[in-house]
Structure 1
Amino acid sequence: MDTANALAAQLDGLVHLDTQRASTGIDLTVGAVFRVTGHGQLDFGGGEFRAVPRKRIEPTLDDPEDDYGWWTLETGAYVVQYNESLRLDDGQQAVVTPLERTLRAGAHHGAFVSEDAQDPIETLLVVSRMGCRLKENCRVSRLTVLE
């Protein structure tokens, strides 16, 4: 995919394209955070697959006058749901990687590849022992699309 503008045409839910545009893709923004409340399950054939159960965490305002709240995350695993949803054309693959700033803030997620549309896009975010705060709509990952 040559330009962020072309990729933006395949995304819904962008918060602010000019800020999210990057030379290699589009930065994804956090729309919701869920605490993992139990274990998931994987098997060979997929018939017994179970996603991890989760509970939505609401952001809190530091000041009542603030427009956006914060999620204060302790050590552990969380499901992050991005604001953005993605449509892919035949033969395209989406690659999502953590931004360096996410790693430097004490959190990370594995890079992943998808050949299917994602509505919305989600990932498992792991927070280090120091914890991490996420502000609503913060950029944590980069999406690129390969032809």
Structure 2
Amino acid sequence: MADDAATFLEGFVHEETQVHDGGVDLTLATVERLDEGGAVDFGGDELAAVETSRVEPEARDGDDEYGWWDLDAGTYLVGYNERLDAEQSVFALQPRTELVERGVTHPTLFVSKLPTVPLTVPESGVSLKRNARISTLRSPIR
């Protein structure tokens, strides 16, 4: 099952940990703050991208190989280390239970490529480490 998704992915952080019977876990690479809203119209002639600024992770001590994002409440756009290229297949992308149990979520999407994904953080905030497994890519829908 998971092997189907894994064959379409590149950029694993640690494939042996990420690939399992339930799917393939995807890891956090980038976080962007939403600065100004975009625009969506009927025909697409007035489509405007949202303006964002990158949020940099910070080391908690000098020995940290990977930094942390300490995110306040709000919505962010997140990107993954992995790249998906599956033109003929559609996969379900959903938040991992570990994320949801901390009040953090993103929409479930059906994808052939990985977009940046809106991540919603609760009032209490959350700390996410670079390369944290935040989403699971489920087997193709046929």
Could you state the TM-score of these two structures normalised by the residue count of structure 1?
0.89
RMSD, aligned CA: 1.4
Output the CA distance in 2 between the equivalents of 1:24 and 1:40.
35
Output the CA distance in 2 between the equivalents of 1:42 and 1:53.
14
* Of 4, 7, 19, the match for 2:5: 7
Structure 2 residue aligned with 1:61: 59
- Structure 2 unaligned residues grouped into runs of 5+: none
- Structure 1 unaligned residues grouped into runs of 5+: none
Residue 6 of structure 1 aligns to a residue in which SS? helix
Could you state the TM-score of these two structures normalised by the residue count of structure 2?
0.92
Structure 2 residue aligned with 1:20: 18
* Of 16, 28, 31, the match for 2:29: 31
* Of 35, 43, 46, the match for 1:45: 43
Assess if the C-alpha contact under 8 Å between 2:5 and 2:91 holds in 1: no
Residue 36 of structure 2 aligns to a residue in which SS? coil
**Percent same amino acid at aligned positions?**
36
Structure 2 residue aligned with 1:109: 106
Q: Which amino acid aligns with 2:113?
A: A
Superposed CA deviations along residues 1-40 of structure 1, whole A, max 9, x for unmatched, are xx32332121111111111113221011000111111112
Aligned residues: 141
Assess if the C-alpha contact under 8 Å between 2:92 and 2:108 holds in 1: yes
Structure 2 residue aligned with 1:135: 129
Q: Which amino acid aligns with 2:117?
A: T
Tell which deviates more after alignment, 75-84 or 99-108: 99-108
